[in-house]
Amino acid sequence: MAKINEDLQRERDKCTFKIAELTTLIDGGRDRTDARREREKVLLSRTKDLDGVPEEYLSHKEKYERAVKNSVILFGLVRQMQEEGKTSVTDYRDVITALLASAQTRDGSPLGVHYIMFMPAILNQGTEEQQAQWMPRAWNSSIIGTYAQISRREKMISCDVHASIASPDIIFGEKGDAIIDDDDDDHTELGHGTFVRGLETTATYDPSTKEFVLNSPTLTSYKWWPGGLGHTVNYCIVVAQLYTKGQCHGIHSFILQVRDEETHEPLPGIKVGDIGAKLGLNSVNNGFVGLDNVRIPRNQMLMKHAQVLEDGTYVKSKNSKLIYGAMVFVRVVIVFDMVNYLSKASTIAVRYSAVRRQCHTKEGEPETQILDYITQQHKVFISIATAHALRVTANKLWDTFNTVTEELGGGNLNRLPELHALACCLKAVSTADTANCVERCRLACGGHGYMHSSNLPLTYGLVTAACTYEGENTVLLLQTARFLVKTWQNVDTAKLTPTVEYLKNTRSKGFIEKWQNSTECIIKGFQIVAVGKISSSVDHMQQRISNGMALENAWNMTSVQLVSAAEAHCRVIILSIFYEVMNKAMATVSPELRRVLQKLVELYCVYWALEKVGDLLQYAPIAQSDIREMKSWYEDILVELRPNVVGLVDAFDIRDGILHSTLGAYDGRVYERLMEEALKSPLNAEPVNQSFHKYLKPFMQGKL
Amino acid sequence: MAKINEDLQRERDKCTFKIAELTTLIDGGRDRTDARREREKVLLSRTKDLDGVPEEYLSHKEKYERAVKNSVILFGLVRQMQEEGKTSVTDYRDVITALLASAQTRDGSPLGVHYIMFMPAILNQGTEEQQAQWMPRAWNSSIIGTYAQISRREKMISCDVHASIASPDIIFGEKGDAIIDDDDDDHTELGHGTFVRGLETTATYDPSTKEFVLNSPTLTSYKWWPGGLGHTVNYCIVVAQLYTKGQCHGIHSFILQVRDEETHEPLPGIKVGDIGAKLGLNSVNNGFVGLDNVRIPRNQMLMKHAQVLEDGTYVKSKNSKLIYGAMVFVRVVIVFDMVNYLSKASTIAVRYSAVRRQCHTKEGEPETQILDYITQQHKVFISIATAHALRVTANKLWDTFNTVTEELGGGNLNRLPELHALACCLKAVSTADTANCVERCRLACGGHGYMHSSNLPLTYGLVTAACTYEGENTVLLLQTARFLVKTWQNVDTAKLTPTVEYLKNTRSKGFIEKWQNSTECIIKGFQIVAVGKISSSVDHMQQRISNGMALENAWNMTSVQLVSAAEAHCRVIILSIFYEVMNKAMATVSPELRRVLQKLVELYCVYWALEKVGDLLQYAPIAQSDIREMKSWYEDILVELRPNVVGLVDAFDIRDGILHSTLGAYDGRVYERLMEEALKSPLNAEPVNQSFHKYLKPFMQGKL
């Protein structure tokens, strides 16, 4: 192993807590740490020679070809490990997750959707016969599929997916039962994202041949975005408006073969290809498909829920609520993704800031580590705290999800609206906060953070994508707002579910007797802010209505405030959970670690209190002098955390092979790595590029 | 011309003002609009066939080769136009600007630095003999050069460039004369950006041969970043620590030949290459160079200011103040750049939002244009207002720059510190605001904004780079803070220069008698906020000092607050200038345009008042009821601007060939263009990619 940079080594030497203890806490137990390390070791050891020319130097097409090569090797490895029955790698989901996080597929994999969505969709929506027909071939990768729409949409025909924007009558009206509407935004057709009802692809049943005829009647109805669809998959689950016996029954899912299994040529009537280069995810092979009278047998409609009989009779689904589970599940996974990216970005920025020196603080001394500048600490430390806060929140959401799922099994739907509202705002706030944090980290690394070899630009590309996919953030926050407004309107009479109980509590007399600069008081302050924002949004809306404005317009006019109210609610949730869970954890750890965790919680609370100080001033009993003191408090926390930040990011325990960053590697050989990566540029393979002879020289000689 | 999208046409039909009138106002006169259009027409007509495969599909190396080809054609065209004496294109700077903004070099040009920095540096720093020797060859491109450091640094030896962070004694101490220090951050050496004194490259004079011997003693001293240095230029101006007669005289500039003029091979002792792939600017060919005992003749040190005589005697420069002009000039140019990018991004987002429809507002009606959602208006309209606000501010800064330059000629240095502080904060705030606005626009376009063909990802890559280059934003804001703190400490006694006069005025009794929701009152409110932040930062710092903290530590501990104070000052400047200049303009335009301009000014003021409501609550006499009303006011402004926003972005008058966006083209054929661009992906040229046969099929057959 190469020598560790001296500054980094000094940081590690002075760290006051045991790094391994925190790693165990993060993983949720020593055995889980061990299992994760074992998985990573196996994967990294068998894939370390896949790299070659760094991805950022490749063309779009070369990136794709590299991605296919690496993906089949990696997924082949998974298959092999399963066959070998390696105990440490038997957890399918953990392996896939570890695999997709590895450096070789860090920009995504064209096979990812096959494992993450295609197979689960068949399991969730297919009948037992259909599962028996398709799953064995999918499982051993004899066929590779993708999904042109998220599964849970199947039964959304009767509810307005964009109701949070377009149909506020659901809030004020009687359609209480429809409070959970789908709201996703996957841009599954070129012209339609969020609004699923507007999908134009059709599947018309032809009883004479017992087939469905699939069509893309317009350019805007082309499917657009499914991962792997471009040139990789030969099957695809397509969502289309079902017509039978002259009637439309809304959207349903169909298994469609898009390419020949032997030749891989697109089948007749199918126009399929790559959608082009993107900000990130260029290894995913997102594709489009257009259909011209493509016929598929009747049994390729996924019929676990609704069915079309041989004669074309439509049989409705009996059950439409349970499928919401999948949606919540996906969003919890996204929050965990964000935690991973935050851990990476903060590891890179902190280690680089320890190595990078700039300017003398005092004449004659060595230049100062930039980690010593408070402005740098202000940029970077919040990412560490955010990673912890989102991790414990995602864990909690996961537990809640499991509880509610159990209750659902018993027919209890009470907490479904709450869970949905929670998943919506947590997905939105966690992705937006992560994107901001990652970009702060990147900018904190100055010009070198702009280099692809830092891995920060790609990381930003991936996290910012999450602000749009699986529910565009603004749309999601309006979903949460809808739940909050409805809850608020019944706050005096209804029994409130746990995450909104505070809506009632804050109104008790002396909820905050006198402001104190403590984490507890800040959390109470945020509760007051959320209540204030919800109630004033409702007032604002009702005032516009009483001035004669139509309900849907009043909702639209208030929507900027509603988004803000939903965000405030989400801050309450994250702050409270972080505080509670960490306090419990602190009771179980060493005193050294306890002090550091305490500071992380304080940092997170005070950072957000100062960020939202305008809200606190409007709604909570906080004075200017409190704010002045709070700023000093914040500065002091940064200084107290300073000696331990390298230890804090080391505890994320991200191997160099996964981190993949010149600036963030464990040994801190920043400049050596920057130069090594630059020398891998194919441009540097020749001293003189051909363009000199072809263009530059004639130009310099005045001949061009 | 293709048919215009019906929605866009309807927007244009209902626009209430004359678009041409606003375009004229933006350009600064009808003749300037005509000249700009003529330039663009010539350039676009002669370059329209350069495109081929869209750049986003190319490899890093192919991008470079394309960039060289396009650049020599474009700069050859400029040369040709100059020779032809075309009156409309004789303004060198305008032509270069138009050229670099064109779609063909939108990601930068490897020849750009030759024109923008190499030649100006020789003019500014070379003696008359040196100019005569080098300029004719540079002018007709017989040699191509780059600059490994910004010129103005030449004389920075005696002042601490990072003093704003590291040496606060300059504020409190006696070094008043040194108030302007350089503070740039161009990462000109691998291990050194901001701190110029730390540069390690050496130039040692050898009187026996009358040569300088240039060396890169360490890896961290390699020059890193100069545009075109990788494989394009054969000359380079290098900045190095000058040693003669055993003494170091600090950094000076030297003309260095890096490649053979005939063969383009790197010269002996010179290690030169490409620094690798970046978030953006991948056509610029940023390079590195390391020097191993490279000898150059004595007359290749640029000696307009300081000299080394034949015997090695060092002769000091007489004049060190005038060179600050160049720095301010560069920063004004950056603000104008930001205006261009904002105009582009808002054009794309507004036109797309008019074309894109999503969800019904009412049952049975067509889906709603997303431009009708207030949340969308909130995301996008501020970019239009910001483009105008920054444009008039940049114009004003430009005028101030010229005034101060004249005064400098007459020996009056009074306004130099003010100008420097102004340029620092305007560069920082304009680039940060623009990056935020562009990203808001991109996210407002959903998944399609993530496509490279929208041109939004590249635009973001270019504007976020500006947050780091030419002075890292935090460092710059601390420079401004230093000026503000110093000014504040003398506020009662000194005669204040114009842009800080308000520091005194706000303290007059009844400065705001009673808060009113008006643009005038908001501007006054921001003045109070800036004063409040400056004074409380100073108090905070002094309190830490009286508690026994060393001055430099107290400055560091307060630096987050100081950055915030400098930003607040900058907001005062932009808001005041925007308000004043637009009010004057409104007196000269038609009533229809006046109403729209009025709303733009209101939008900008109210948007920022709500963004900074916490500051207003802390420092200005504003009540909660004012804020409630202000939110309604904001919503109403959005609605009032709504019918004219397509007209507002049309008035930016950006040709499709320059905008280069599938989502933003004038005709609004969004979906057709998305598909057309996708079909240009080389992946789509073959129905089956080779990787199927090589990897995918064996994998699917279980053979891999």
- The alpha-carbon radius of gyration of chain A (Å, integer) is 27
Chain B's closest residue to A275, CA to CA, is B678
CB A328 within 8 A of CB A423: yes
Does the distance separating the beta carbons of B266 and A689 come in below 8 Å? Answer: no
Of A267-271, A498-502, B19-23, B50-54, the range with the lowest mean pLDDT is B50-54
- Measured in angstroms, the CA of B631 and the nearest CA of chain A are apart by 8
CA distance B34 to chain A (A): 29
Cβ of B615 within 8 Å of Cβ of A614? The answer is yes
Lowest-confidence region among A27-41, A268-282, A633-647, B323-337: B323-337
Whether the per-residue pLDDT at A90 is higher than 80: the answer is: no
Query: How many other C-beta atoms are found inside a 10 Å radius of the C-beta of residue B338?
Result: 29
Looking at this predicted complex, what is its ipTM? 0.94
Estimate to the nearest angstrom the gap between the alpha carbon of B76 and the chain centroid.
26
Average confidence (pLDDT) over A323-349? 86
**Please, which residues bridge with residue A301 across strands?**
A254
Supply the mean pLDDT for chain B: 89
Share of chain A above pLDDT 70, in %: 88
As a whole number, mean pLDDT of residues A632-641 equals 98
Q: Cβ separation of B61 and A681 shorter than 8 Å?
A: yes
Q: How many residues are recorded in chain A?
A: 704
Confidence of residue A651 (pLDDT cuts 50, 70, 90): very high
How many residues belong to chain B? 704
Interface contact flag, B675 A288, Cβ < 8 Å = yes
By C-alpha distance, the chain A residue nearest B611 is A614
Active-site annotation of B, residues: 470
Give pLDDT, residue B180: 34
**What pLDDT does residue B703 have?**
81
Query: What pLDDT is recorded for position A565?
Result: 98
Alpha helices in A510-665 (DSSP H): 519-546, 551-557, 559-586, 591-611, 613-619, 624-641, 645-650, 656-659
User: With an 8 Å Cβ cutoff, are A560 and B378 in contact?
Assistant: yes
Q: Which two tokens stand for residue B389?
A: 């606000």
**For residue B168, pLDDT beyond 70:** no
Range of A417-426, A502-511, A674-683 with top mean pLDDT: A674-683
Other Cβ atoms within 10 Å of A206 Cβ, number: 13
% of chain B at pLDDT higher than 90: 72
Cβ atoms < 10 Å from Cβ of B545: 16
Residue A487 CA, distance from chain mean position: 27
- The confidence score (pLDDT) of residue A354 equals 98
Among A140-149, A187-196, B90-99, B482-491, the range with the most confident prediction by mean pLDDT is: B482-491
Question: Is the Cβ–Cβ distance between A245 and A232 less than 8 Å?
Answer: no
Residues from chain B contacting residue A58 (CB–CB below 8 Å) = 59-60
Structure tokens at B61: 């190396």
Kindly report, residue by residue over B122-152, the tens digit of the pLDDT. Answer: 988 899 999 999 999 998 899 999 987 643 3
Average pLDDT estimate for B381-406 = 92
Strand boundaries in B275-410, DSSP class E: 287-291, 294-297, 307-308, 314-315
- The residue that leads in pLDDT, B680 or B84, is B680
Pick the range with the lowest mean pLDDT from B65-79, B178-192, B624-638.
B178-192
Tokens for B351, please give them. 């036109």
Separation of alpha carbons A664 and A458, rounded Å = 14
Distances (CA, A) of A33 to A27, A39, A91, A335: 6, 10, 14, 20
Contacts of B540 in chain A (CB under 8 A): 628, 631-632
Model confidence pLDDT, tens digit, residues A213-256: 999 999 999 999 999 999 999 999 999 999 999 999 998 999 99
Catalytic residue among A40, A470, A472, A602: A470
Contact A447 B193 (CB under 8 A): yes
Give the bridge partners for A278, in sequence order: B451
Question: Environment class of residue A18 by beta-carbon count within 10 Å: exposed (0-12), middle (13-18) or buried (19+)?
Answer: middle
**Confidence band (pLDDT; 50, 70, 90) for A194?**
low
Q: What is the pLDDT of residues B320-378, one digit of tens each?
A: 555 556 667 788 889 999 999 999 999 999 999 999 998 876 677 888 999 999 999 99
* DSSP code, position B367: P
Taking CA–CA distances from A372, the nearest residue in chain B reads B556
Chain B nearest-CA distance from A587, in A, is 32
Q: CA angle, corner B30, sides to B25 and B31, nearest 5?
A: 135
Q: How far apart (Å, rounded) are the C-alpha atoms in residues B673 and B696?
A: 31
Cβ atoms of B663 and B445 within 8 Å: the answer is: yes
Nearest to B624 among A75, A144, A618 (CB): A618
A237 strand-pairing partners = A147, A255
> How large is the average pLDDT for residues A522-538?
97
Pair type for strands B202-206 and B235-244:
parallel
**In Å, how far is A467's CA from the nearest CA of chain B?**
8
Please give the annotated binding residues of B, written as ranges: 188, 227
Residues on chain B touching A216 (C-beta within 8 angstroms): none
